[in-house]
């Protein structure tokens, strides 16, 4: 929390309240497809054990789960068919060889290595890790993947989290909607303590820029 | 403005932090309109839907980093939403500059986005108050009634009006601080 917002006086709060319009108090309900998109994305990508229950009635939900499993099996079959019939699926559009910086990175990354690939599928961008050897962080911490938009001097102008990654099975992480990998093109993996602070900890272990293939 | 007929805030926050089976759905039912309203007040409908989805998906993926003891879930989600909106606006501005030389004035920037977020956190704080306290606050600050006028209108002792106002301000401050954690 920055100091500016650490403590507001009663006068400041009262001024903010007096500045409210009645319409400020009215919230807009999101369209149904917003939850459907969340449910679909999390059900597909959730690799940390949580199960997402749909908003709809259980009977319909069960039918959807059955249909979802069937659809997943079909997708696996199609993916296998594509893999077996094509040498190169032509979905990797850029890649980054992630490197450790002994001067500025966390020592946990000294023996780490990974290659990050930017893949696109029907307009959706994801980062997948190959040839990864990632360390397990200390208890009470996780590894988190970020995309960085560098500034003109090579510093960090902006960044976005792609989520936590399992060192034993890094898998694939979606690039959030609204983020252009051409702009946020540096892949970073950091150690993040479970301290409730959503910002980057500053403890990077690997980093590298995506380059077109 | 009615209080949401949903699970108590405290249980939603703890369940979310634990990653309970129904927690994302409960959090969305409780805070989906808050996050979506923030997005709609700063972005067009299509981008607002995308960013709302993105906020809940990434919050769920990072739920291990949310600790109820350090701030409200509403504050955490609003802070994530603010960052996503600012990034989305800046990305749009970059594309706008590529398409033309026009300066996209009128598009909210970080300070304005934050101000809108603060207003929504006040709304959220008001939602968490009792009906009586919410009415007292609204009558005083939005309708400019004096303490005595509120006491007369609501048939309440003057001391109750003052204590409702004091507790309300305290709750609003707590919500605003959570949004910047």
- pLDDT at B95 (0 to 100): 64
Give per-residue pLDDT as tens, A181-208: 888 899 999 998 877 777 788 889 999 9
Which residues are paired to A193 by β-bridges? A141
Give per-residue pLDDT as tens, B63-79: 887 878 878 899 899 98
Nearest-CB residue to B173 (from A13, A178, A192) = A13
Biggest CA–CA distance in chain B, Å, is 62
Nearest-CB residue to A198 (from B35, B79, B173) = B79
- Euclidean distance between the first and the last CA atom of chain A, given in angstroms as a whole number: 41
Q: How far is A185 from chain B (nearest CA, A)?
A: 13
Q: What pTM, to 2 d.p., does this model score?
A: 0.56
Contact A160, A176 (CB under 8 A): yes
Nearest-CB residue to B141 (from A17, A26, A163) = A17
Helix (H) or strand (E) run with residue B128 in it: helix B110-128
Inter-chain contact B67–A29, Cβ cutoff 8 Å? no
| Residue of B167, B181, B83, B90 lying closest to B132 (CA atoms) | B167
Under the banding of pLDDT at 50, 70 and 90, the label for residue A53 is very low
Does residue B39 surpass a pLDDT of 60?
Answer: yes
* Contacting residues of B for A163, CB less than 8 Å apart: 58, 61-62
* Contacting residues of A for B169, CB less than 8 Å apart: 10, 13-14
Inter-chain contact B142–A17, Cβ cutoff 8 Å? yes
Inter-chain contact A144–B90, Cβ cutoff 8 Å? no
* Contacting residues of A for B118, CB less than 8 Å apart: 16
- pLDDT at A188 (0 to 100): 94
Inter-chain contact B76–A180, Cβ cutoff 8 Å? no
* Contacting residues of A for B172, CB less than 8 Å apart: 13, 17
Residues 6+ apart with CB under 8 A from B163: none
What's the CA gap between A59 and A76, in Å, rounded?
26
Please report, for chain A, how many H helices and E strands are present, in that order. Answer: 3, 9
Query: What is the crossing angle of helices B23-40 and B45-61, to 10°?
Result: 150
* Contacting residues of B for A28, CB less than 8 Å apart: 33, 36-37, 40
Inter-chain contact B63–A50, Cβ cutoff 8 Å? yes
What's the CA gap between B4 and B119, in Å, rounded?
18
What's the CA gap between B23 and B14, in Å, rounded?
9
> B163 in helix, strand or coil?
helix
Max mean pLDDT among A52-66, A188-202, B145-159 falls in: B145-159
Neighbours of A65 (CB within 10 A): 12
Mean of the per-residue pLDDT values for chain B?
83
Residues found in chain B: 181
Under the banding of pLDDT at 50, 70 and 90, the label for residue B56 is very high
- pLDDT at A72 (0 to 100): 62
Q: How far is A86 from chain B (nearest CA, A)?
A: 33
Under the banding of pLDDT at 50, 70 and 90, the label for residue B98 is low
Q: In what order do the strands lie in the sheet with A156-165?
A: A156-165, A141-150, A186-193, A204-209
Q: How far is A131 from chain B (nearest CA, A)?
A: 23
Share of chain A above pLDDT 90, in %: 23
Residues 6+ apart with CB under 8 A from B172: A13, A17, B121, B122, B125, B126
């Amino acid at each position: 929390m920055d100091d500016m917002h650490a403590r507001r006086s009663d006068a400041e709060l009262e001024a903010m309240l007096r500045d409210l319009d009645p319409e400020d108090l009215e919230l807009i309900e999101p369209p149904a497809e917003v939850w459907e998109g969340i449910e679909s994305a999390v059900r597909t990508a959730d690799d940390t054990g949580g199960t997402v229950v749909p908003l709809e009635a259980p009977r319909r939900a069960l039918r959807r789960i059955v249909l979802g499993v069937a659809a997943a099996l079909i997708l696996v079959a199609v993916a296998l068919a594509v893999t077996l019939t094509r040498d190169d699926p032509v979905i990797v559009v850029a890649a980054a060889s992630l490197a450790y910086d002994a001067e500025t990175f966390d020592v946990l990354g000294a023996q780490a290595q990974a290659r990050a690939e930017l893949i696109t599928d029907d307009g959706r961008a994801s980062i997948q890790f190959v040839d990864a050897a990632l360390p397990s962080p200390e208890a009470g911490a996780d590894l988190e993947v970020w995309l960085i938009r560098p500034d003109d001097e090579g510093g960090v102008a902006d960044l976005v989290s792609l989520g936590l990654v399992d060192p034993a099975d890094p898998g694939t992480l979606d690039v959030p909607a609204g983020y252009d990998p051409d702009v946020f093109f540096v892949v970073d993996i950091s150690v993040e303590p479970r301290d409730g602070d959503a910002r980057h900890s500053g403890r990077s272990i690997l980093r590298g820029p995506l380059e077109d293939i | 403005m009615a209080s949401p007929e949903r699970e108590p805030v405290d249980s939603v926050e703890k369940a979310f932090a634990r990653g309970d089976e129904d927690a994302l759905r409960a959090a969305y039912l409780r805070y989906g309109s808050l996050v979506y309203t923030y997005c709609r007040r700063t972005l067009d409908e299509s981008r607002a839907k995308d960013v709302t989805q993105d906020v809940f998906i990434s919050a769920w993926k990072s739920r291990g980093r949310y600790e109820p003891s350090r701030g409200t879930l509403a504050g955490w989600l609003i802070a994530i939403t603010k960052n996503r909106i600012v990034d989305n606006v800046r990305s749009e501005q970059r594309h706008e500059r590529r398409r033309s030389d026009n300066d996209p004035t009128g598009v909210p920037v970080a300070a304005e986005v934050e101000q809108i977020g603060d207003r929504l956190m006040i709304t959220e704080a008001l939602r968490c108050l009792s009906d009586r306290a919410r009415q007292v606050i609204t009558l005083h600050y939005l309708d400019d009634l004096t303490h005595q006028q509120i006491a007369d209108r609501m048939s309440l002792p003057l001391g109750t009006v003052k204590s409702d106002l004091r507790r309300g301000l305290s709750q609003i401050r707590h919500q605003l601080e959570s949004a910047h954690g």
